[in-house]
Amino acid sequence: AQRVTQPEKLLSVFKGAPVELKCNYSYSGSPELFWYVQYSRQRLQLLLRHISRESIKGFTADLNKGETSFHLKKPFAQEEDSAMYYCALITGANNLFFGTGTRLTVIP
């Protein structure tokens, strides 16, 4: 069975400080992982997918198969990064399984 774990429900950092949102997964197949973000009063939207290895809004995430992790990082947090972040794993049936989410607050 698949599982996505986000150990931190809440994370607060100061503006300009580095931020890391943790995500660990468990999946028997070849994992495909995503980070989704939900800003206040907005719909969920894709932030990053590990396949594309891109940086979006300064965020990066590297898939570490040895540690079964997909942590989201940004070197300098901005106030507009405050949001709910979800790590997700997609299965062969195209179903997304989400972690429980981390609410990031960037303190001015």
Partner 1 sequence: NAGVTQTPKFQVLKTGQSMTLQCAQDMNHEYMSWYRQDPGMGLRLIHYSVGAGITDQGEVPNGYNVSRSTTEDFPLRLLSAAPSQTSVYFCASLGRGRGDYEQYFGPGTRLTVT
Contact footprint for partner 1 (CB under 8 A)? 4, 6, 9, 32, 42-46, 49, 51-52, 86, 90, 93-101
Cβ atoms within 10 Å of 91's Cβ, excluding its own: 15
Measured from the CB of residue 67, what is the shortest distance to partner 1 in angstroms?
A: 21
Q: Smallest distance, Å, CB 107 to partner 1?
A: 22
Between 18 and 95, whose beta carbon lies closer to partner 1? 95
Whichever of 53 and 65 has its CB closer to partner 1, that residue is 53
Nearer to partner 1 by Cβ, of 101 and 106: the residue is 101
Q: For 9-60, give the DSSP string.
A: SEEEEETTS-EEE--EEE-SS--EEEEEEE-TTS--EEEEETTTT--BTTBE
Q: Which residues pair with 25 in a beta bridge?
A: 4
